[in-house]
Structure 1
Amino acid sequence: MVGMHADTSGDATLRPDAMHEISDGTREVVDRVLRYARDRALYERVPLDRALPPDELAAQAGAAITADGIGAERATALFADVLAPACLSTDHPGYVSFIPSAPSKAAIAFDLVVSASAIYGGSWMEGAGAVHAENEVLHWLAGEFGLPEGAGGAFVQGGTIGNLSALVAARDAYRRHRGAMDDAAPVRLAVVCSAEAHSSIASAASVMDVDVVGVPTGADGRLHGDAVAAALDAHPGVFAVVATAGTTNFGIVDDIAGIARAAKDRGVWLHVDGAYGLAAMLVDELRPAFAGVELADSLVVDPHKWLFAPFDACALLYRDPAGARLAHTQHAEYLDTLTESADWNPSDLAVQLTRRSRGLPLWFSLATHGTEQYRATIRHGIDAAAAIADDIEQRPHLSLVRPPQLSVVVFRREGWTLADYQRWSDRLLDEQRAFCVPSSHAGEPVLRFAIISPLTTIDVLRDILDTLD
């Protein structure tokens, strides 16, 4: 099939509607792509694969963007045979680094529907049905987290955008309050968080040109309320406190209740970054670990992590969305018809105006399987982490750095250096057995399992441990 390109030569054979008409050619493109997507979604054995050096990949890929196009058959083959194998499959059972993804088959399938439906998800006027469905998910999550009636938010790209959007709303609320104080003197604004807070908090602060007040954690790795209170008393310009509900490196939940008391007593916005770990609150026996979340002014949780949605989706929730609208609603003549007639515009609640309806795959998966299935699948990660931690303690050459609280297990191989860990990690990937890269803690190189997928079984994890003998 001939591709479309800029017509600078006046070539009358290139019809403007060639890419959009319903023809045998467009049917062939759609069918070919859908066949590939179906096959990939239903792989019995997901390939792990790995990146290639830039020069090698460029040589294998060649030039796909040409004046006349290379056609759907060649383009699909190029992706399937060259480009996709140069990407790690984050849904592979042996992918236990960083925070893996494990989208349900229902969510994967519906992601195609979202793209095919050409829905603009930023406004109620244009995407009411999609926004309604997304809001059903957001209201369910708000209820699970103990937020009051009226809480709500939007799905954004990821935790970085979610944290940034929440902190922008917090700063706006601070400025509005401080602006009403006649004797308010200029002060350098700041965010308080723990030394273990996600890197996106520092990134957001940099974008906003505010300071970060890093507070040391306790011996248990948690940020505690008394330490936050001291930091707030020492820094008058703090407009938000960030508590972490499941740190990335260890999966540790801060003392959210104590932090909330310190923040509320001083009239400071409380934001909870639960991008990875807050989903564990859906498991009844872990709910006490998250006490205080219900007091948050804003929070985030990433469905593309432990809620089994495809990339990229972060649920951003506000206790009072009205304050977020004051901070984020964009005003222009061409937007007045949206903002003045809106029932609920997701674009008014975050830094993004243009947005796809990225919450719909999660909505479809939840509607298909039910919330109890989600609780059971999340529980798998917690149970698997506890089981493999017990296994590690039985191996004389391995030791836990700290018992797991959620589904992250950090351990060491006695006597190994960072170079030893890296050689071992490279060998596992060469063998296409697993992707497990070294991390560090207090200057010491360590290993780390992040367990999300129900296909990451105890047998898969033990097989990885066996290679450390």
Structure 2
Amino acid sequence: MRWNEFAEWGRKVSDWAVKYHEGLRDRPVRAQTAPGAIADALPAAPPDTAEPMQQIFADFESIVMPGITHWQHPRFFAYFPANAAPASVLAEYLVSTIAPQCMLWQTSPAATEMETVMLDWLRQSVGLPEGFAGVIQDSASSATLAAVLTMREKALGWDGNTSGLAGQTPLRIYCSREVHTSIDRAIWVSGIGEANLRRIPVTGENRGMDAAALDAAIREDVAAGFRPAGIIACIGGTGVGAMDDLTAVMPVAKAHGLYVHVDAAWAGAAMICPEFRHYWAGVEEADSVVFNPHKWLGAQFDCSAHFIRSPDDLVRTLAIQPEYLKTHGAEGIINYSEWSVPLGRRFRALKIWFLIRAYGLDGLRRMIRNHVAWSQALAERLRAEPDFEIVTEPVLSLFSFRYRRDGADPDALNLALVTAINNDGRIYLTQTRVDGDLVIRFQAGQFDATEDDVKLAGDVILEVARAMETPNA
């Protein structure tokens, strides 16, 4: 394919994209293919000669599309959203076309300088105070890893990268049991080790970390000869939206001189609405905060906003400056590759610029407020059913529930229900566990979802449950 053919195929792909999104409600949300079906449809060896684009695109539709779970489907209520608003898609189209590698200021000044400004736009949007600087990471997992590495280096007097962990006093990191598994991976990759991740009990309706238990655990570790390094707090946990009380956690951290990273990957986007900021009261005292615009704000994956109180600590942890990466003759510049683990960087700031300008903060706030209201209304509808219970109350647009039937094993029954719902295809839900019990999660967050889509989710849940009550259904 040559560039003189690109315009024709660009138009065809654009037309296909519009029809795809307009017809999403007619597709099952979750892929319905059997394991191995897509691999079996692909040739075992690559072609030696060029093939026509017509055939490639036809195969895309016949082979690839049946195996796609439609994350942009308005009735995707599983996990958390990974949105792609139209304006964001256009920005990514442009980025893919110019294809810059934005590792240094000099390798694309526009990318670096726009990233600085866009992260400050986001900082202002969610109400973080001045003094936080921002960087775009590929995911919250990478931001958390960067934070854990910084905790490690500060605790070891900046000697970990040089001398390694062998022979060092073992470090301790603290979190609740509601955190995402990306925290476990950060602990593994950083070399701190799973045995040194202390999980603090949770308390209260929001399932937040027990601050008194946290303080006791830190004191116990110090007495036992360990070296506490940092705390990872959770705002909007993946399971059921757990919220640590930062106003209780931060004083403990300050008393022990510990670095605090706040993982608000999903819920942080909701802080563009001032009425939701009570959930992370105290965040201004954090050392590091992350949330994902690619979840609830509509930015195309990947795009994670990482805010740091002291960028110098992060750069001291991650920066390597061989001669070929130095920029001479330019003072006061930022090289964001020194703020992240990967050297290579995409131009992610452009989609934030397009997104915020195309919808405005008011439009994005309206979307989030609708999702919260619609989800809470669905929770009340299910609560009114005698054979359903709300297990965890709505946190923003996320809640969990269970279906009950006399004589049935609750875990098996609810697993059967969520499986039947997903096989039905009209909506997509996922399950989790609360205090060991299997429950079904619901969250609204897809960019194009409507109130009718959420109401249909209630219809499907009840319809499928009633069908399970019928023998041989």
2:104–2:325 CA contact under 8 A, matched in 1: no
Q: 1:104 to 1:22 in 2, by over 3 A?
A: closer
Report SS of the residue matched to 1:45: helix
Match of 2:79 among 95, 98, 111: 98
Partner of 1:346: 336
The unaligned stretches of length 5 or more in structure 1 are 1-18, 180-184
Q: 1:280 to 1:31 in 2, by over 3 A?
A: closer
- Aligned-partner residue type, residue 463 of structure 1: D
Is 1:122 aligned to residue 108 of structure 2?
A: no
Q: Report 1:6-405 matches (<5 A).
A: 22-24=3-5, 26-43=6-23, 45=25, 47=27, 48-62=29-43, 65-176=46-157, 186-210=168-192, 211-220=196-205, 221-236=207-222, 237-337=227-327, 343-405=333-395
Q: 1:49 to 1:71 in 2, by over 3 A?
A: farther
Q: 1:145 to 1:428 in 2, by over 3 A?
A: closer
Report SS of the residue matched to 2:252: helix
In 1, the alpha carbon distance for the partners of 2:26 and 2:366 equals 23
Partner of 1:427: 420
Measure how far apart 1:269 and its partner are: 0.5
Is 1:459 aligned to residue 455 of structure 2?
A: yes
- Aligned-partner residue type, residue 414 of structure 1: R
In 2, the alpha carbon distance for the partners of 1:61 and 1:380 equals 42
1:147–1:295 CA contact under 8 A, matched in 2: no
In 1, the alpha carbon distance for the partners of 2:252 and 2:45 equals 57
- Which stretch has the larger CA shift, 338-347 or 259-268? 338-347
2:32–2:423 CA contact under 8 A, matched in 1: no
For residues 83-103 of structure 1, the C-alpha deviation after alignment (integer angstroms, 9 at most, x for no partner) is: 122010112122211112232
In 1, the alpha carbon distance for the partners of 2:183 and 2:389 equals 31
1:41–1:105 CA contact under 8 A, matched in 2: no
Match of 2:441 among 433, 438, 448: 448
Structure-2-length-normalised TM-score: 0.87
Q: 1:146 to 1:59 in 2, by over 3 A?
A: closer
In 2, the alpha carbon distance for the partners of 1:94 and 1:37 equals 18
Report SS of the residue matched to 1:136: helix
- Which stretch has the larger CA shift, 442-451 or 43-52? 43-52
1:41–1:108 CA contact under 8 A, matched in 2: no
In 2, the alpha carbon distance for the partners of 1:56 and 1:104 equals 30
In 1, the alpha carbon distance for the partners of 2:128 and 2:455 equals 39
In 2, the alpha carbon distance for the partners of 1:356 and 1:41 equals 26
- Which stretch has the larger CA shift, 251-260 or 267-276? 251-260
Structure-1-length-normalised TM-score: 0.88
Report SS of the residue matched to 1:309: coil
In 1, the alpha carbon distance for the partners of 2:96 and 2:22 equals 20
2:180–2:238 CA contact under 8 A, matched in 1: yes
Measure how far apart 1:338 and its partner are: 7.1
In 1, the alpha carbon distance for the partners of 2:117 and 2:61 equals 36
Measure how far apart 1:164 and its partner are: 0.5
Measure how far apart 1:70 and its partner are: 2.6
- Which stretch has the larger CA shift, 452-461 or 303-312? 452-461
Q: 1:391 to 1:40 in 2, by over 3 A?
A: same
1:193–1:213 CA contact under 8 A, matched in 2: yes
Report SS of the residue matched to 1:242: strand
- Aligned-partner residue type, residue 104 of structure 2: S
- Aligned-partner residue type, residue 85 of structure 1: P
2:200–2:210 CA contact under 8 A, matched in 1: no
2:233–2:246 CA contact under 8 A, matched in 1: yes
2:398–2:443 CA contact under 8 A, matched in 1: yes
Partner of 1:8: none
The unaligned stretches of length 5 or more in structure 2 are 161-166, 467-473
Measure how far apart 1:461 and its partner are: 2.5
In 2, the alpha carbon distance for the partners of 1:376 and 1:147 equals 20
1:249–1:408 CA contact under 8 A, matched in 2: no
Q: 1:71 to 1:235 in 2, by over 3 A?
A: farther
Query: Considering only aligned residues, what root-mean-square deviation do their CA atoms show, in Å?
Result: 2.4
In 1, the alpha carbon distance for the partners of 2:116 and 2:22 equals 30
For residues 114-151 of structure 1, the C-alpha deviation after alignment (integer angstroms, 9 at most, x for no partner) is: 11121222222122212222222211232345544342
1:46–1:92 CA contact under 8 A, matched in 2: no
- Which stretch has the larger CA shift, 261-270 or 228-237? 228-237
- Aligned-partner residue type, residue 384 of structure 1: W
1:125–1:342 CA contact under 8 A, matched in 2: no
Equivalenced residue count is 444
Identity value in percent: 27
- Aligned-partner residue type, residue 131 of structure 1: T
